[in-house]
Structure formats: C-alpha cells, structure tokens
C-alpha cells in the first residue's frame, strides 16, 4: 500500500488537514505500506515560502515519519510539484494531441461575464466550450500578442462516472454536469486536478485518502485517469473536521493550526490520540490509544461518514491523562522543553532539572496543559514571596494569633534538620494540637506562608521539596508581612 499526504504550502496546516495526514500515516503503518509527502505548490500566488518547513515541523512534532518526500527523497521524486512541470506539460501535450484537451484563449473577463449570465439564467455555471473550435490562426495570433493560452480538459459527455469510495460506498455523477476545466494555467503551472492525478499515478499511490471536500471533484479525476489511459487508485473520502458552528474549520474558529496546540501546551501524543478519534473509533469504550495501539488497530472500515466538531474540552482531558502517564523525569523534560519554546516570565531559565524533577510529581495531577506548569511551580523558584496578610489570617483568627503560630512554626523549622514530608507532618500536627487550632486553620495559614497562595500542591511534600532554608525564609517573610 502506498498513500500520500499532499499539502499545499499556503500556510500552516490546520488540524483537519493534519487529521487527514494522520489517517494516511496510520493506514500506511498498519499495512506496512509507504507514507509519502508530496508538496502541491502549483499556486504561485498563494505560495508561502516558510510553509513547507511549518508543515514538516508539524509532522515531526507528532512523530509522523514519512518514507518518501522532502528532505528524505525517494525513488519517485522530486516530491515538489513545482519541480515536475515537464511531466505535466508532456501529459497535457499528449492529451491535446489525442483530442482530450485543447487550448483556450478566453479572457478572465469573458469567463466572468459567462458565469454572471449563467447565474442570471439559473443555469449551471461552467465553461461553454467556446475554444474547442479555436483555429490555428486565432491561437497563433493570441500567442503573437505575447499571451499564453491555458489548456482545458475536454470532459467526457453523456456518461455516468462512478467511484466505489472506501468510506462512502458507490457514488455516481452525470458527466455532463462537469465542465471543461483548466489543467494548465497561463503561468505554465498545472492545476491541482492534473498534477494530483498524474503524480498519484507516477508515485504509484494505491489509496487516495483525502477530505470529503474533494469528493465532488472526483469525477474530474476519474475522467482524467480515463483519458490518460490510467487506472485510478482507490478513493476514500474522510469526514471533515468542523468548527463549533458545523461549518468547515477555518481561522475564524480560533485556534486551528496544529502548531498552535503545541504552543498551548498540548502533548503530541494527546493530539494524535484525540485526532484519531475524530472520525474513527476502535469500539464502544476505548478512548485512550497510544500511537502503537492506533497503528495496531486502525482500519478504514471503522471510519465514520459524518463530520466531527473539534471538541477542545475532551482534548484537554486527554492531555491530562497523558501528562499523568509520564514519569516525573519525562514530565520535567517536557516542561523544560516547553519553557525553552516559550519562556515563562516568573521563572529564570535555564531551570535546575534535579529540582524540577522533584517538583514534577507534585504538580502532575494538577496540569491540564504544559502552560499551567509555570503558574503552578512559580513559587518554588521565586526568592521573595509577596504575602497577602488577609490570605494569611484564617477564619476565627487574628493577626496576633496568626503571627504566634508562625513564630512557633519558625522555631520548629529552626531546630529540625531537613525532614521528609511524613516527619514534617507529624511535627506540625503536634504543634497544631499545642496551638489548639483546627487543621484547616493551621495548615491553611502555613500553606499561605510557604507558597503565598491559598492553593498549592500538598503542603508537607511541598515543604520537603523546598527544603528547610526556603521554608524558613518564607515563614520569616510571612511574619514580616503581618507586621507591615
């Protein structure tokens, strides 16, 4: 099996696009086939130079490796369509020679006028075939004027074109509903239809798995394969990914580009798992499937037909699952890498990895994304904390009793060595009984003293990781804040 991902470098690919790439990749890996990346850069106007790099970076982030394509090459290259123009020209010339295509010199103005008239008359928009009867002399005159004609495919007439789509079953079209479409543009570049069909054949693609938006141009492709004397590949039109309003996903729906999700602190493994479940499922219960489980179980038979809304709440949940499945060291590594990508304001970089590895298990169950790591861990790194007296003073207490409790705590820390969480808890529990405070009162004020926040990871584990000196500093700071 040979499948391909054929992005056009007009910008950063969005998640729908990448989901299609993922399904192709999964199918290739599942069947021990080949996954090919081919860049469809035939539109010179919309071309974005850095786009190819962004596309490949996205694939690498998700660890979707390609067997042939940019950077890795392969026996069917080049894999950039802009480097294959001769192939398209030759094929177009052959189609013209055999009467399947013809030159067209109609101006954009005439085509626009034609469409306007057609919509006025409530007829189907489409080229009327005027240039089918173009004479050699007219063509020559056009060229002498410094113009380059386009080439149109002479669409077959009075036929039923059908495809046996892998996910949709059989679909039929009346060939008369498709007009004579352009296959070579006036700038000499092929249109998608020609380039795509030719390359899929030349690269021996066996299965074309693409989004449903392509379904309606499939009759053109099949007609093209026919005129070229080629056997079409198998087609499978995948459901689309939709915005919350159920329309085709686009920029106006907010974050749609794949790499934005990396920037928002999502793990690539949760992206892969989540996207795989958009339009595919294993069974009636399995939600968590890592890449190897996906490769093992993916099948086109279980792809659904209807479009799916990208539900970020579920992604967030799944990201939490994957974060919790990491070892503390691995999580610390992810956080460090993420901070390298977008440095947090309150935490000096580079960060002490040994320390971060001890912090990691404390925040692990509390993270939804890697973004959360900064605010959750900031107090571990800060030198002077800003204690808010009103947060320090608990219900049923006043500044004086709070200060007294902190003084006692400070004394307790002062006499002890570095202690583990369990020993700390025992010691402070004894102190609490002596002070006749409730657990809520005492541990809450201690928590605020230690972290300058009412919310934190478990208190004594936090204190253990911070170490005696930092704890002493913080309690001292808290006492100072109460006085000021």
Q: Could you tell me the smallest distance in angstroms from the CB atom of residue 215 to RNA?
A: 5
Q: Could you tell me the smallest distance in angstroms from the CB atom of residue 370 to RNA?
A: 14
Cα-Cα-Cα-Cα dihedral sign, residues 111, 161, 100, 183: positive
Long-range contacts of 79-86, Cβ-Cβ distance < 8 Å, separation of 24 or more: 79/36, 79/37, 79/38, 79/39, 80/38, 80/39, 80/41, 81/38, 81/39, 81/40, 81/41, 81/42, 81/190, 81/195, 81/199, 82/41, 82/42, 82/189, 84/195, 84/199, 85/188, 85/189, 85/190
- 177 versus 341: smaller Cβ distance to RNA: 177
- 316 versus 473: smaller Cβ distance to RNA: 316
Q: Could you tell me the smallest distance in angstroms from the CB atom of residue 306 to RNA?
A: 3
- 60 versus 302: smaller Cβ distance to RNA: 302
- 304 versus 341: smaller Cβ distance to RNA: 304
The single residue of 116, 123, 251, 305 carrying the catalytic annotation is: 251
- 290 versus 353: smaller Cβ distance to RNA: 290
Q: Could you tell me the smallest distance in angstroms from the CB atom of residue 350 to RNA?
A: 27
Q: Could you tell me the smallest distance in angstroms from the CB atom of residue 149 to RNA?
A: 8
- 108 versus 229: smaller Cβ distance to RNA: 108
Q: Could you tell me the smallest distance in angstroms from the CB atom of residue 243 to RNA?
A: 8
- 285 versus 483: smaller Cβ distance to RNA: 285
**Phi, psi torsion values for 150, nearest 5 degrees:** -90, 165
Q: Could you tell me the smallest distance in angstroms from the CB atom of residue 50 to RNA?
A: 17
- 116 versus 348: smaller Cβ distance to RNA: 116
Whole-number Å distance between alpha carbons of 271 and 27? 17
Q: Is 251 one of the annotated active-site residues of the chain? A: yes
Whole-number Å distance between alpha carbons of 226 and 224? 5
**Phi, psi torsion values for 104, nearest 5 degrees:** -135, 130
Whole-number Å distance between alpha carbons of 163 and 233? 10
Q: Could you tell me the smallest distance in angstroms from the CB atom of residue 341 to RNA?
A: 23
Give the residue numbers annotated as catalytic, written as ranges.
251
């Amino acid at each position: 099996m040979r499948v391909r991902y054929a992005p056009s470098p007009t910008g950063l690919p969005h998640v729908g696009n990448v989901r299609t790439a993922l399904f192709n990749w999964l199918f290739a890996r599942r069947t021990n086939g080949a996954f090919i990346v081919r860049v469809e850069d035939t539109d010179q106007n919309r071309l974005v130079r850095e786009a190819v790099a962004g596309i490949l970076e996205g694939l690498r982030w998700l660890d979707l490796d390609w067997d042939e394509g940019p950077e890795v090459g392969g026996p069917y290259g080049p894999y950039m369509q802009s480097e294959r123009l001769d192939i398209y020209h030759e094929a177009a010339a052959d189609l013209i020679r055999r009467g399947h295509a013809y030159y067209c010199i109609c101006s954009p103005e005439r085509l626009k006028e034609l469409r306007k008239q057609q919509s006025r008359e409530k007829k189907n928009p489409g080229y009327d075939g005027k240039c089918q009867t173009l004479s050699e002399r007219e063509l020559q005159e056009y060229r002498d004027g410094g113009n380059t004609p386009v080439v149109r495919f002479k669409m077959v007439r009075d036929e039923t074109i059908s495809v046996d789509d892998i996910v949709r079953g059989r679909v039929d079209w009346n060939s008369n509903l498709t007009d004579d479409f352009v296959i070579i543009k006036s700038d000499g570049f092929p249109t998608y239809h020609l380039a795509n069909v030719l390359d899929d054949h030349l690269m021996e693609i066996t299965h074309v798995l693409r989004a449903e938006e392509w379904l309606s141009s499939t009759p053109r492709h099949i007609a093209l394969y026919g005129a070229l004397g080629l056997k079409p590949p198998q087609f499978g039109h995948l459901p689309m990914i939709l915005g919350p309003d159920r329309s085709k996903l686009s920029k106006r729906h907010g974050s749609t580009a794949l790499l934005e999700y990396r920037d928002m602190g999502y793990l690539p493994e949760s992206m892969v798992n989540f996207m795989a479940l958009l339009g595919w499922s294993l069974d009636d219960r399995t939600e968590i499937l890592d890449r190897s489980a996906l490769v093992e179980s993916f099948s086109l038979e279980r792809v659904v037909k209807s479009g799916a809304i990208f539900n970020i709440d579920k992604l967030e949940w799944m990201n939490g699952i994957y974060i919790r499945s990491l070892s503390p060291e691995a999580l610390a590594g992810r956080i460090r890498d993420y901070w390298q990508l977008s440095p947090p304001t309150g935490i000096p970089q580079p960060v002490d990895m040994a320390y971060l590895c001890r912090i990691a298990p404390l925040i692990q169950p509390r993270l939804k994304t890697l973004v959360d790591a900064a605010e959750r861990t900031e107090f571990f790194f800060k030198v002077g904390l800003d204690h808010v007296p009103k947060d320090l003073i608990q219900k049923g207490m006043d500044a004086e009793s709070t200060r007294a409790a902190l003084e006692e705590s400070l004394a307790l820390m002062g006499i002890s060595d570095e202690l583990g969480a369990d020993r700390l808890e025992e010691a402070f529990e004894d102190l609490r009984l002596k002070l006749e405070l409730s657990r809520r009162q005492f541990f809450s004020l201690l928590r605020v003293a230690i972290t300058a926040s009412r919310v934190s990871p478990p208190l004594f584990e936090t204190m253990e990781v911070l170490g005696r000196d930092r704890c002493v500093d913080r309690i001292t700071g808290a006492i100072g804040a109460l006085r000021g």
